[in-house]
Each structure stands twice: as C-alpha cells, then as structure tokens.
Amino acid sequence: MQIIKSKPEDTVTTIKSETVLNSLPGASLEEYHSDQHRIKQLSKKKLNRGLYLIIWMLRIYVVFMLVVLALNVLNNMH
C-alpha cells in the first residue's frame, strides 16, 4: 500500500496518523471520503419543466419579498 503524503512530513504527525489509521476500521474514513468526493463531482441538476417553474417562482418570490422588506424598512423609519 502506497501512502501519499499530501504535506511536508511532520514525523510526529505521520506516526500519529498511521497509528490512528491502523487502529480503526478503515470503513468510516473511506465512507466519509468517498461520499464527499461523490458530492464534489456533482454537476448542476438538470431541471425538468416542473423544477424550472419552481425555481422561477422562487425568483419572483424573492423579488416580491425584497419589495415587502423595503416597504417595511421605510415604514419603520417614518
């Protein structure tokens, strides 16, 4: 098994790393890494018509609420 060290070695850190790795089932770390890697590989979701409509309704909602917020702030100032 080849261990690729990603940073310049700190001997104490390396020994501690190997000790922890060797004392653990590797499954936990492997699951963690593989799931994070899987998520990082995700691209933007392809939207079908329904989702496209929902996203646009959200955009309209945001604009509407920004107006409401602005009115709220103006009202409070008066």
Q: How far is the CB of 16 from another protein (least distance, A)?
A: 7
21: left (phi over 0), alpha (psi -120 to 50) or beta: alpha
CB neighbourhood size of 7 (10 A): 7
Q: How far is the CB of 31 from another protein (least distance, A)?
A: 6
Q: How far is the CB of 49 from another protein (least distance, A)?
A: 14
| CB nearer another protein, residue 49 or residue 62 | 62
Q: Interface residues with another protein (CB under 8 A)?
A: 1-7, 13-14, 16-17, 20-21, 23-25, 28-29, 31-32, 35-36, 38-40, 42-45, 51, 54-55, 58, 61-62, 65-66, 68-69, 71-73, 75-77
| Max CA separation in the chain (angstroms) | 71
Q: How far apart are CA 24 and CA 35, in angstroms?
A: 19
Amino acid at 67: V
